[in-house]
Amino acid sequence: MNKLFCILGLVIVVSGCATGGGNIEGSGFDNAKYTLNYNAGLNRLTSNEPSFAMEEFLKAEEHKKTPELYYSMGWACFLLKRNDLALAYFDKSLSLDKNFSSSNVGRGIVLREKGQYDEALAEFNKALENILFHEPETAYFNIALTYLAMKDRAGAATYLKSTIQLKSDYLPAYYQLALVYMELKRYEEAQDVVSKLLTYAPDSPESRLLLGKIYLKLGKRASADAEFNEVIRLAPNSDYAREARDCLTGGDN
């Protein structure tokens, strides 16, 4: 998946933190220090600095223990490729609030990374069983990614479409579904999906690059070149632009 759509995990962090419960109450001072350190950790995490994020999260833990804190610590450990420690933190999150199902999704992602696909699917489905879970689209999306890891493209497509039906502006699902259709050589359907995606993110260079490649497969050279030129205009110094220039000069392959 391209760069813009690889931020899903951090999107889940932000959404998950908004739905937490089960906080252990502290003094006003402790709450203030917790909030300061926790927000600093989130900023580090979203800047892809997981080691610095953990430093802030550990400081926050000295003042208060919350499910969203341990959830975020799980993500930091996952980004540091400390999968077993990530699972331990997700478990701590769930021990404080069994309904903090973003941590089930986090566990599922780690288990998928470890190649434990059945266990991963069980975690995603556990999240979906929780009627209080506010981001079920993340579970559907990750079920789709797990099916892709299992080389089941048809199953992945089914869950990607379910994700979109549940949350019509969930952009990573559109992008991944278009890639699946490309792999299945269902180019017209891939075109439709990317066109819909671009109604939400018209200035997305990676989406326009993908649409250009789809047009090439459909034999629509002029339309493809228009998309490649738009990629170059939107992000002239990016890897997307370099690939677009290659496509402009490299024929239909």
Q: What is the pLDDT of residue 25?
A: 56
Judge whether 130 and 139 are in contact, CB under 8 Å: no
Place of tokens 């699902």: 173
Domains and CATH numbers, the chain: 1-133 (1.25.40.10), 151-253 (1.25.40.10)
pTM above 0.85, yes or no: yes
What's 23's DSSP letter? P
Residue 184 corresponds to which tokens in the numbers above?
């299945």
3-state secondary structure of 1: coil
- Cα–Cα distance between 244 and 248 in angstroms, integer? 6
Judge whether 160 and 176 are in contact, CB under 8 Å: yes
Place of tokens 């200035």: 203
> Tens of pLDDT along the chain (253 residues)?
444 444 444 444 444 443 334 455 556 878 999 999 999 999 999 999 999 999 999 999 999 999 999 999 999 999 999 999 999 999 999 999 999 999 999 999 999 999 999 999 999 999 999 999 999 999 999 999 999 999 999 999 999 999 999 999 999 999 999 999 999 999 999 999 999 999 999 999 999 999 999 999 999 999 999 999 999 999 999 999 999 999 999 855 5
Q: What is the pLDDT of residue 19?
A: 39
Residue 180 corresponds to which tokens in the numbers above?
């699946």
Q: Is 71 exposed, middle or buried (0-12, 13-18, 19+ CB in 10 A)?
A: buried
Q: What is the pLDDT of residue 221?
A: 97
Q: What is the pLDDT of residue 137?
A: 96
Please name the residues in contact with 227: beta carbons below 8 A apart, sequence gap of 6 or more: 208, 209, 211, 212, 215, 244
